[in-house]
Structure 1
């Protein structure tokens, strides 16, 4: 029904306007709720990366049961993914939550406190680690 018809009554036009305003308000509220839920889920993901798989009690108390359930499932999925990384090349997994900030330098100075012997680096170089010797090694080593 087109409300611009000449035959439409004033009462029908008023009802049509009310329905449109109410529908717009409901759609706005729905968008606000979805944005709020998305924000909460993002914060819960951040908690997993900051605190690990076990939340402190004071933080846990701030989550609803459904949010904590979502956190547990997210934590399980993340742990499964981290275990699967590197299995093709023989690693048992990589902890992605270990170093969240990039290193300031690609190399780190190492001072040997004891005689360790030979150390083979990823690139195939072999270095001797003797007591009181200093080496600049890649941070990844």
Structure 2
């Protein structure tokens, strides 16, 4: 259920669980969160986000807004201007895609 629903169970699911099941779920969720924080070169890695491995570590993205300078993990800075396109590391783009700053360009 942790992998399907996330760290918070929907009320209708939680209502059907007994107290030991809820405690087990909470402990498992905490252990999984601690593990995900510890992997990925100490940057963390959300294993529950996408169950399929990426085909490429880099993706092509289009900037939807004037964002300004964005520093990559390797220290390189790029300027994210509206309608500019970039080939960037997937792991660093995903938060900006979720925020609506970047758009993944699919071929």
Which TM-score applies when normalising by structure 1? 0.48
Of residues 44, 47, 65 in structure 1, which corresponds to 2:19?
65
Of residues 64, 67, 72 in structure 2, which corresponds to 1:121?
72
Larger Rg: 1
- What is the deviation of 1:48? 0.8
* CA–CA distance in structure 1, aligned partners of residues 16 and 7 of structure 2: 16
Gapped regions of structure 1 (runs ≥ 5)? 1-46
Matched residue SS, 2:91: coil
Which TM-score applies when normalising by structure 2? 0.58
Of residues 102, 106, 119 in structure 1, which corresponds to 2:57?
106
- The structure where helix makes up a greater share of residues is 1
Gapped regions of structure 2 (runs ≥ 5)? 93-107
Runs of 4+ in 1 over 4 A off after TM superposition: none
Aligned-pair RMSD on alpha carbons?
A: 2.9
- The structure where strand makes up a greater share of residues is 2
Matched residue SS, 1:103: coil
- What is the deviation of 1:134? 1.1
Whose relative contact order is higher, 1 or 2, with alpha carbons under 8 Å and at least 6 apart?
2
